[in-house]
């Protein structure tokens, strides 16, 4: 059974920093894409950042230059470093892992990130 476990959420003041991590357990196939998504109450889930197996990254415009995604293929772990946090970054952050062959889509249970003064 594949499990994704996030950690590192919490409450941070505007302008602060926070790092999230996600570890994938008992994975047999290559995880082609790992990423972070977030969802605020009453709003649609949105992609924050993704990273391919070879390290190609993709960020949504609102977090560019503030967030950094990275991964360790040997450890099946993905991180998200968040700097210069804003109140609009407040959401539940979900870790995601995708495999292409065979096709798979896996999600963590989420970790709360709250930006408030």
The pLDDT tens digits for 57-82 are 999 999 999 999 999 988 889 999 99
Backbone angles phi, psi at 100, to 5 degrees: -100, -40
User: Which are the contacts of 62, defined by CB distance < 8 A and separation ≥ 6?
Assistant: 88
pLDDT of residue 18: 98
Please, what is the average pLDDT of the chain?
A: 94
- CA pair distance 97, 14, nearest whole angstrom: 29
Q: How far apart are the first and last CA of the chain?
A: 40
pLDDT of residue 28: 63
Q: Is 47:69 a contact under the CB 8 Å cutoff?
A: no
pLDDT of residue 30: 85
Backbone angles phi, psi at 66, to 5 degrees: -115, -35
- HSE of 69 in the Cβ direction (CA atoms, 13 Å)? 25
With a cut of 70, which residues of the chain have pLDDT below it? Answer: 27-28
- HSE of 2 in the Cβ direction (CA atoms, 13 Å)? 18
pLDDT of residue 77: 94
């Amino acid at each position: 059974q594949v499990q994704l476990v996030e950690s590192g959420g919490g409450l941070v003041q505007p302008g602060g920093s926070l790092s999230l991590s996600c570890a994938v357990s008992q994975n047999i196939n290559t995880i082609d894409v790992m990423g972070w998504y977030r969802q605020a109450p009453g709003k649609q889930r949105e992609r924050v950042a993704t990273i391919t197996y070879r390290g190609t990254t993709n960020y949504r415009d609102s977090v560019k230059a503030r967030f950094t995604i990275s991964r360790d293929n040997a450890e099946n772990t993905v991180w998200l470093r968040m700097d210069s946090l804003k109140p609009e970054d407040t959401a539940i952050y979900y870790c995601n892992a995708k495999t292409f062959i065979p096709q798979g889509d896996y999600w963590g249970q989420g970790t709360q990130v709250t930006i408030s003064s």
